[in-house]
C-alpha cells in the first residue's frame, strides 16, 4: 500500500537505544594454462631411397618451435586429453571491493518532523526506487530527503509498505541510474563476518565490521516488537544515525537492517532480518 509521507526521536526503551540520530570476492591469481600443441605426423620417405616428387619435404612440427611451457601431444593423446582448460576469471570479492560496491546503494535520510530534524540511513533495492529503512527513522515525518554517496538527492514521495512491529519501512523515490543491493535469501550463522554501513552521527559512507553473535526473536528483546520477528545480534557497531542502513555479508548481500544497540554492555547490537524485507515486497 502506498501513501504519502505524512516523526523521529532517539528512543531508549528498556536499555535498548534505537539508533536514529537527532540533529540539534577474494581476489585470485589464475595460473595461465600451458598451451597444448598437436604434433605433425611424420613424413615417410620412399623405400627405394629416391626422393619422391610427390612427397613434401619434412617440416618442423609446431611443437619443435613451441616455448618451454607447451606440451607436445600426438593426435590420439590430444583427443584423449580433451580441450585445453580455459582460465576462469574470478571477480574481486575482497572486503574493500564489496564495501565499495555496496556503498553506492546506501543513502542518508534527512527527516523533517514536528519535533525537528533527524538523520538516519537506508539503502536501495530492486525494483529501483525502493528504499529500505527503519520505521522509527521516518515515523511521523513530514518530509524525507534521500542523498546518495555521489551527492545526488531526491525527495521521498511516499510509503510503499510499513511494519512497525518489525521496525521496517519501504519508501518510494523517483531516481534513475542508481545501484541496488541484493537481499539475501539465507539466514546467517553464528560467527559469520558482517559489515554495517550507514551514516552514524550523520557521517555518510561509514563502515564497521563484526560478526554475527546470535539469532534472536522479537519477544526476547522488547515487548513492543513483533514476537515472531527475527533479529540478528551482531558485534558490528550500530550508532545513532546507523538506523536503517544495511548489514551485509562478505558477498555484499543484505542480511539485515541495522536498528538498535543495548545501552549497557559492549558490542551488543541488533538488526532486523532481511527475510522481513521480502515479506513487505510481496504484500
Active site residues: 136, 167, 243
Q: Could you tell me if 181 and 130 are in contact, meaning their C-beta atoms sit under 8 angstroms apart?
A: no
Q: Could you give the C-alpha distances from 235 to 90, 255, 277, in angstroms and in order?
A: 30, 14, 22
Q: Residue 221's closest CA among 9, 17, 10, 21?
A: 17
Q: Could you tell me if 113 and 81 are in contact, meaning their C-beta atoms sit under 8 angstroms apart?
A: no
Give the whole-angstrom CA distance, residue 111 versus residue 130.
Answer: 17
If you write DSSP's letter for every residue of 43-59 in order, what string do you get?
Answer: PPPPTTSSPPTTSPPP-
Q: Residue 200's closest CA among 232, 239, 170, 226?
A: 239
Amino acid at each position: 500500500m502506498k501513501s504519502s509521507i505524512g516523526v523521529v526521536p532517539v528512543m531508549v526503551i528498556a536499555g535498548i537505544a534505537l539508533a536514529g540520530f537527532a540533529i540539534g570476492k577474494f581476489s585470485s591469481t589464475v595460473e595461465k594454462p600451458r598451451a597444448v600443441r598437436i604434433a605433425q605426423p611424420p613424413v615417410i620417405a620412399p623405400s627405394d631411397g629416391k626422393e619422391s616428387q610427390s612427397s613434401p619435404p619434412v617440416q618442423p612440427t609446431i611443437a619443435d618451435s613451441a616455448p618451454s611451457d607447451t606440451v607436445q601431444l600426438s593426435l590420439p593423446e590430444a583427443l584423449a586429453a580433451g580441450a585445453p582448460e580455459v582460465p576462469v576469471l574470478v571477480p574481486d570479492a575482497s572486503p574493500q571491493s564489496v564495501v565499495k560496491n555496496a556503498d553506492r546503494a546506501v543513502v542518508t535520510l534527512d527527516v523533517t518532523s514536528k519535533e525537528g530534524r533527524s538523520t538516519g540511513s537506508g539503502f536501495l533495492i530492486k525494483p529501483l526506487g525502493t528504499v529500505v529503512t527503519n520505521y522509527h527513522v521516518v515515523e511521523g515525518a513530514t518530509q524525507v530527503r534521500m542523498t546518495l554517496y555521489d551527492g545526488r538527492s531526491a525527495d521521498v514521495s511516499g510509503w510503499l509498505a510499513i511494519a512497525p512491529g518489525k521496525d521496517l519501512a519501504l519508501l518510494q523515490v523517483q531516481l534513475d541510474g542508481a545501484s541496488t543491493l541484493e537481499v539475501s535469501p539465507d539466514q546467517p550463522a553464528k560467527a559469520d563476518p558482517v559489515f554495517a554501513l550507514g551514516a552514524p552521527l550523520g557521517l555518510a559512507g561509514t563502515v564497521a565490521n563484526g560478526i554475527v553473535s546470535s539469532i534472536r526473536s522479537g519477544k526476547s528483546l522488547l515487548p513492543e516488537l513483533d514476537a515472531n520477528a527475527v533479529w540478528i545480534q551482531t558485534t558490528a557497531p550500530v550508532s545513532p544515525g546507523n538506523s536503517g542502513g544495511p548489514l551485509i555479508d562478505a558477498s555484499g548481500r543484505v542480511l539485515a537492517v541495522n536498528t538498535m544497540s543495548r545501552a549497557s554492555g559492549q558490542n551488543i547490537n541488533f538488526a532486523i532480518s532481511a527475510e522481513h524485507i521480502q515479506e513487505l515486497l510481496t504484500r
